[in-house]
Amino acid sequence: MERYSRQMRVAGVGPEGQRRLLASRALIVGCGALGTHAATALVRAGVGEVELVDRDIVEWSNLQRQILFTEADARDAVPKAVAAAAHLRSANADCRVTAHVADCNVEFLAHLASEPTVVLDGTDNFATRYVLNDWCARHAVPWIYAGAVGTEGAAMVLRPGGPCLRCLWPEPPRQADVGNCETAGILAPAIAAVVAFQVAEAMKVMLGADTTRGVFTCDVWRGQYGVLPVASAPAEDCVVCRGRAFPALVGERPGAVTLCGRDAVQIDVPRGASVDLDAIAARLTGIAVDVVRTAHLLRFKADGCRFSVFPDGRTLVFGVHDPLRARALFDRWVGVA
């Protein structure tokens, strides 16, 4: 316990609080910039079990902000969850760190060994966030949304009983409207600022303390930090909080299939979906390479792969064999469904 002596001096923690942290289990979804910052803080703080889930591999463009990863990880294309877990284990042997190289979908969550005390959002896409929202609401697990893009960030605690993410946004915003790190860039301090709020709130959940109500927002460039108030009760028409329906747990997420004998993966979207190829093309121009819009498809190159996106959202990713990797690239560059 000596290593936690400074933390235990904080009112609200103490030896009892530290024991609670050591008996807690945090699930961190996404092991990018947000996830590696949060995992570092939680492991060092002495959270007993930290589970990391990420489907992607370490790339050179990650090193600018995704602490924990080294040049060797990028060179060897190590799965992010595996690389992060390896580094974290040397930081605190008290903490059991588990790495899952997986898509955090309904099936993955259903097979968790036991329910986490708290879930931290480190994802880069709203499809996964809505799965987390609905799953956490159903299982009465608090989760903490966090997102950062450009120089701005936002975070919020979503507690069982609501309000939930759907109370604020009933449907996932379109990825094209919110941008991502590939298209809008990202300044590392924006991550640190958001994660500071997220981790403090996660610790409060685990310590049994009251959490902050409202949406934390920051713009580290303009030096603005604050908490926007939100309603204390769930929205009247929220399907999750009021209707106890969990759309993201029953809807199909896009399937990904490696094409027979090919170094290519097809991402299927639910029947009846449609995407605005022109909007995606406009967003990618100047960021992706060789962006071509034909009558029937949108083509571009990014992350060493060639993408073909069709009006029904179906996407072919050439130059990749692993469906998980293709799904990660799809969510990053196309981000529909």
Partner 1 sequence: MIYLDHAATSFPKPPEVLDAVRRWFSEVGVSADRGDGPHCQDARVEVAAARSLVADLVGTKSGLVAFHSGATESLNLVLRALLRPGDGVVATAFEHSSVARPLVTLQKERDLRLHVIPPDADGALSVDAVVTALAMHRPAVFVFPHASNVTGACFDAAAFCDVARRAGVVTVLDACQTAGLFDLRVGADFVVASGHKALLGPPGIGFVASRERELSPQKQGGTGSSAALAEHPTRWPYAFEAGTPNTPAIFGLAAALRYRDAVARSAALAASVANTVALAEALVRLPGVSLVAPTGHARAPVLSFVHADFDPAEIGAMLAAADIHVRTGFHCAPWLHRHLGTELAGTVRVSPGPDLSPAEIAAVAAAIG
> Active-site residues: which are they?
181
Among 142, 177, 158, 148, residue whose Cα is nearest residue 215: 158
Indicate which single residue of 297, 301, 319, 322 sits in contact with partner 1 (rule: CB under 8 A): 297
Q: Contact region for partner 1 (CB under 8 A) — 144-152, 221-229, 232-240, 314-322?
A: 314-322
Give buried/exposed letters for 198-221 (b at 16+ CB in 10 A, else e): bbbbbbbbbbeeebeeebbbbbbe
Cβ distance to partner 1 smaller for residue 52 or 277: 277
Cβ distance to partner 1 smaller for residue 145 or 307: 307
Give 193-236 as a DSSP string: HHHHHHHHHHHHHHHTPPPPPSEEEEETTTTEEEEE---SS--T
Cβ distance to partner 1 smaller for residue 190 or 316: 316
Spatial distance between the Cα atoms of 288 and 186, rounded to a whole number of angstroms: 16
Indicate which single residue of 227, 312, 319, 322 sits in contact with partner 1 (rule: CB under 8 A): 312
Q: State which H helix or E strand residue 264 sits in.
A: strand 264-268
Task: Tokens 């530290």: give the residue.
Answer: 18
Q: 241-280 mask for partner 1 (x: CB under 8 A)?
A: ------------------xxxx-x-x--------------
Cβ distance to partner 1 smaller for residue 108 or 310: 310
301 binds partner 1 (CB under 8 A): no
314 binds partner 1 (CB under 8 A): yes
Structure tokens at 300: 């571009």
Indicate which single residue of 102, 311, 319, 322 sits in contact with partner 1 (rule: CB under 8 A): 311
308 binds partner 1 (CB under 8 A): yes
318 binds partner 1 (CB under 8 A): yes
CA 258 vs CA 211, 268, 270, 299, 322: distances in Å: 44, 11, 17, 19, 7
Spatial distance between the Cα atoms of 132 and 104, rounded to a whole number of angstroms: 8
Contact residues toward partner 1 (CB under 8 A) are: 259-262, 264, 266, 296-297, 308, 310-312, 314, 316, 318
